[in-house]
């Protein structure tokens, strides 16, 4: 019988004789592997989802301020714009030779703490999130009437709204708003499917509707005599409710090569100060400000790996003290100290590899099962495959098991026969 066959039989026999303890060690390594891979996937998923909050849009245009502020109010519905964009500027941008499409956004009103977004039907066709995913109406339809509103999934769920319910928009922001447009309620015509993005927390109405509810307003207050809803519908149908300005503009170009040329032309626009930003670049800049969560998850992943390594070392050292008599018996049967040391290293390696494999298999099977739910409810787009970084870390865990077993292997190598036989069983 060769030395390797003998070592293999000794490893299998030794592990089998301690199978209950070995199972728990394997489970400990597997749980550590699952925790590391899960935390790493959540970290990567958080960045992927954040960076793809808006996709398929080449430029976002707003009043000149800062790129982070522009992204916050136009995409994340946080904060306010410093100024609006006049419709003349919007038409000039649409007329640029490299511009393929535009989607206007008008912000400033709210409903019970949720932002109201004035836009047009192109919003539902052009807005993309995630990996080029379109907005989908889970129920109902778009703007069939002037006073129709399409709700995001979270708004409908948390406020308990359904199709046909009436919604009153408030002038201004905040949960209570400033003054309610209770004379012109909106009817819920559609509810969007969950996206895990700020779209879920928004109410969408037409630009004409935003103009209509402010027809009788001047100097920030509503007039005593207001225009009836039917009259406003007639004026909208006649094209008399023209929007004067919008808050931001989503722009798509005809080719990726023309994005920077179009951005430069908008930034150099002389009629009014405008800012055009690339969503990906602005999101990266914003992530450097609010990316503390990603760094915290990285620290958690590192601590999980460190805990697994320390636990493995402690387990090997603890079992060594219990196996001193076993080591001595093997010595008395003719096993050389080097064989006994190799036995400990091989056992540690086998247990660690088995635990890592169990953890990887569990995460690989579980990720597709939960990814759809996480995407719909939290907007987390989890990676399915194992990255090169994951492979490197898992390899480091396996190698650490070898290093961890060197100390007990050295102690077993130095252990005298009499010391082992004198140990209590």
> pLDDT category, 301, cuts 50, 70, 90?
confident
Q: What pLDDT is recorded for position 328?
A: 63
Q: Grade residue 425 by pLDDT with cuts at 50, 70 and 90.
A: very low
Condensed to tens digits (0 to 9), the pLDDT of residues 393-402 reads: 888 888 877 7
| DSSP annotation string for 223-255 | -SS---HHHHHHHHHTT-----EESEEEEEES-
pLDDT band at residue 173 using 50, 70 and 90 as cut-offs: low
Shortest CA distance to 143 belongs to which of 206, 100, 80? Answer: 206
Of the candidates 102, 105, 84, the one whose C-alpha atom is nearest the C-alpha of residue 92 is 102
Q: How high is the pLDDT of residue 5?
A: 66
Q: Classify 263 as helix, strand or coil.
A: helix
pLDDT higher than threshold 70 for residue 130: yes
Spatial CA neighbour of 368 closest among 381, 377, 379, 378? 381
pLDDT value for 358: 92
Predicted confidence at residue 390, as pLDDT, reads 83
Q: What angle do CA 53, 58, 64 make, to 5 degrees?
A: 90
Judged by DSSP in three states, 63 sits in: strand
Distance CA 422, CA 407 (A): 22
Q: Is the distance from CB of 105 to CB of 112 less than 8 angstroms?
A: no
- Tell me the mean pLDDT in the region 84-92: 95
**159 pLDDT above the threshold of 90:** yes
DSSP string, 91-154: HHHHTSTTEEEEEEEEEEEEETTEEEEEE-THHHHH-EETTTEEP-EEEE-S-SSTTEEEE-HH
Q: Does residue 365 have a pLDDT over 70?
A: yes
Q: Binning pLDDT at 50, 70 and 90, where does residue 339 land?
A: low
212 within 8 A of 236, measured Cβ to Cβ: yes
Greatest mean pLDDT among 35-44, 240-249, 373-382 lies in 240-249
Interacting residues of 113 by C-beta distance below 8 A, sequence separation 6+: 174, 175
Residue 416 has pLDDT above 80, yes or no: no
d(CA 116, CA 109): 5
- Give yes or no for residue 56 having a pLDDT over 50: yes
At 424, is the pLDDT very low, low, confident or very high (cuts 50, 70, 90)? Answer: very low
pLDDT tens for 103-121 read 999 998 899 889 999 999 9
Lowest mean pLDDT among 61-65, 253-257, 383-387: 383-387
pLDDT at 405: 72
* pLDDT at position 148 over 90: yes
Contacts of 248 (CB under 8 A, 6+ apart): 60, 61, 62, 70, 73, 74, 81, 85, 104, 105, 107
What stretch of H or E contains 203?
Answer: strand 202-206
Checking if the pLDDT of 420 tops 50, the result is no
Cα–Cα distance measured from residue 123 to residue 119, given in angstroms and rounded to the nearest whole number = 7
- pLDDT, averaged across the chain: 82
Q: What percent of the chain has pLDDT over 90?
A: 34
pTM for this prediction: 0.72
Phi, psi of 273 (to 5 degrees): -75, 120
What are the residue ranges spanned by the domains of the chain?
3-50+292-421, 82-254
| Between residues 351 and 174, the one the model is more confident about | 351
The yes-or-no verdict on residue 59 having pLDDT over 80 is yes
pLDDT of residue 155: 94
């Amino acid at each position: 019988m060769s030395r390797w066959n003998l070592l293999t039989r000794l490893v299998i026999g030794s592990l089998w004789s301690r199978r209950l303890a070995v199972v728990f060690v394997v489970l400990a390594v597997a749980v550590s592997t699952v925790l590391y891979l899960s935390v790493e996937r959540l970290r990567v998923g958080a960045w992927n989802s954040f960076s793809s909050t808006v996709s398929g849009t080449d430029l976002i245009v707003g009043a000149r301020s800062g790129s982070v502020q522009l992204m916050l109010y136009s995409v994340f519905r946080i904060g306010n714009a410093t100024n609006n964009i006049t419709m003349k500027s919007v038409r000039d941008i649409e007329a640029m030779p490299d511009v393929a499409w535009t989607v206007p956004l008008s912000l400033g009103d709210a409903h019970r703490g949720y932002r109201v977004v004035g836009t047009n039907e192109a919003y539902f066709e052009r807005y993309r999130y995630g990996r080029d995913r379109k907005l989908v109406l889970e129920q109902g339809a778009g703007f069939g009437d002037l006073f129709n509103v399409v709700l995001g999934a979270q708004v409908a769920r948390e406020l308990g709204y359904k199709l046909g319910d009436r919604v009153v928009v408030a002038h201004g922001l905040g949960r209570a708003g400033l003054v309610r447009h209770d004379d012109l309620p909106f009817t819920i015509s559609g509810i969007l499917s969950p996206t895990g993005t700020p779209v879920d927390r928004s109410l969408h109405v037409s630009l004409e509707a935003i103009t209509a509810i402010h027809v009788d307003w001047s100097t920030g207050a509503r007039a005593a005599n207001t225009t009836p809803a039917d009259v406003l519908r007639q004026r909208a149908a006649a094209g008399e409710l023209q929007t004067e300005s919008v808050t931001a503009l989503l722009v798509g170009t005809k080719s990726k090569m023309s994005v920077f040329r179009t951005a430069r032309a908008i930034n150099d626009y002389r009629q009014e100060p405008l800012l055009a930003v690339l969503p990906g670049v602005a999101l990266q800049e914003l992530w450097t400000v609010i990316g503390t969560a990603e760094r915290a998850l990285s620290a958690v992943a590192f601590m999980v790996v460190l805990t697994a390594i320390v636990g493995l070392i402690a387990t090997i050292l603890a079992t060594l003290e219990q196996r001193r008599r076993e080591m001595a018996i093997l010595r008395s049967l003719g096993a050389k100290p080097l064989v006994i040391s190799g036995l400990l290293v091989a056992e540690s390696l086998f247990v660690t590899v088995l635990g890592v494999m169990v953890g990887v298999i569990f995460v690989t099977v579980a990720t597709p099962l939960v990814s759809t739910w996480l995407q719909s409810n939290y907007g987390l787009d989890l990676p399915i495959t194992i990255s090169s970084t994951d492979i490197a870390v898992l390899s480091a865990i396996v190698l650490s098991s070898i290093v961890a077993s060197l100390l007990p292997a050295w102690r077993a190598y130095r252990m005298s026969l009499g010391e082992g036989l004198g140990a209590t069983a």
